Amino acid sequence: MYQAVIFYKQLRSPRGRIMHMMEVMNMKRVAVKFERPDQIIDFVRIMNRYEYDADVKCGSRIVDAKSIVGVLALAKSKTVEVIVHTDDACQELMEEISRYAA
């Protein structure tokens, strides 16, 4: 599932004028579930091989998908959502983490 997010920033030009900047970024979301801690460690290792910025979300809590401590604390025996922030299709990454799809 892709979703566009717009980041809105106000910047000052060298002459002191306020400039408005908008950036659109796409996200790829997938639900995953881990049964054992070693699966989480493997998942984090996979995420760290890629340059994508990614998060793991459970309810209102979000952690960096490249943090073993964060993902272990959040995802043990729960279904969580992985959010990859990219304009790329990231097909290779999605294939690697598909074994954990919920």
Which single residue is written with the structure tokens 């304009």?
Answer: 87
Q: Which helix (H) or strand (E) segment is 36 a member of?
A: none
**Domains of the chain, CATH where assigned:** 27-100 (3.30.1340.10)
What strand order describes the sheet that includes 53-58? 2-12, 18-33, 79-85, 53-58, 61-64
Question: What does the pLDDT look like over 13-65, one tens digit per residue?
Answer: 566 665 544 455 678 889 999 999 999 999 999 999 999 999 999 988 999 99
What are the structure tokens assigned to 61, written together? 């809590």
Tokens of 73: 């604390």
> Per-residue pLDDT tens for 44-56?
999 999 999 999 9
The Cα–Cα gap between 24 and 3 comes to 10
Confidence (pTM): 0.75
